[in-house]
Structure 1
Amino acid sequence: MIEMNDVTKKFSTKKTNVTALNHVSFTVPAGKVVGLLGENGAGKTTLLRCIATLITPTSGTITVNGFSTTKEPNQVKRKIGVLFGGETGLYDRLTARENLTYFANLYGLSKHETKVAIEELAVKFGMREYLDRRVGEFSKGMRQKVAISRTIIHNPDIILLDEPTTGLDITSSNVFRQMILQLKQQGKTILFSSHIMEEVQALCDSVAMIHKGQLVYQGKLEALYHEEDTQDLNFIFMSKLARGETA
């Protein structure tokens, strides 16, 4: 479970002060898939980085499976898998297998566990033919598959994904969506941002909408459809922004 309570994050320079998150509170229940919606610059990535302990909130609290992101960051890191947009975190001079082995070692997997995990992920994402090639030679889609594999190789309880299907072709995107459903069946807690509304509707139990650092809606999709009298999620989102609502 992820719990955010009155979280604010401000970035200050000599010339400007920017409030990226403004008193945001919401919960991602254990075993649920929640979609994070918002236009570019709304604060989605900042929110995910705060949960991942990469950024410290200016105020407010965040707990992940009961651990504080500010007081117990190491415990939080053991529980999560993270993928941020184009930041694959891969080493170009290493092969895909070497990259995955490296990250598996960081998470304390044994040699046998690492070998089994890499083989399963290679089959799942169709990576076997280039598993032993250097990542620096890969296309964007190929890199993204390895990055997603890196994110879940240690079987984390909680998974944070920022635009996870960026660069993937249709087949790979469908494989990814099936993987999300499988992870949900395993009881994983997943929070991911996406601009693809069809993806959100197909995968998510609920959504959190953020606009200019403020939460404008959090709840189940069915309740949102009933409230807005339509199942056009893109229309609902744009409508809420136009109305300037806050949760």
Structure 2
Amino acid sequence: MQNKSLREILHDQYQNEPIIRLFVELIGSALGFPISSVVFDTLIGIKAKETAANRMRSFYDELNNGDIQLDETLLENDDFLHSYFSVVNYVIRSKSNEKASKFAKIIKSLYKQDINVQQFEDYSSIFDELTEREFIILCIKRDFENTINPIEIISEDKKMKNPFQITTSYWNDFFKEVDKVLNISPKELEALLIRAQRTGCYVLHTGYWDMSNVGCGDTSVIFHKIYDIIKNE
């Protein structure tokens, strides 16, 4: 490990995967990756290099899990190469292997033309900005939004409830679920929901008469896209 570069470590791990080895070779190449492999290997220690290799392995394993057909033609696709170079930066600095693998799902969605290059740039950048706790919180919130009983959106006077009223109907259950999963207090969760607005993934309810629930809002259309890609890919 001490005398091996990041590329050499990954080459060894994918000896029987020639296409993945081609992608590995692009790390630090002159094609545009902004951190050269030589500089990268010089600046970081052995442990950090091992961590980076683990993140890239999680990314490549998900990329190569059979959902799409990887071949050399991708290396001739400017849009895919641009996206690959940008996402590798996100992968290497990911906090966990699980998050690194999720970036592969986003780039696979681009490959399958479910999203375009501009959407890929936005979604991958936004997902990079989200902390792991924020992403889990927003996923739990989205799960509640997806399981609303149609009866619950009708008020006692038979009128359609407004978005704030609908969210309020499961607000306490949502807080309990987040606390069970992440052990987050109500006050901290309120603050995290307000903070999540910076990513465009969460929108607070405003303009309603009873705004007693701090941080009450819904996940955004952008988060719905990211959620669907990562959960359903």
Give the structure-1-normalised TM-score: 0.25
Give the structure-2-normalised TM-score: 0.26
Structure with the higher strand share, 1 or 2: 1
Structure with the higher helix share, 1 or 2: 2
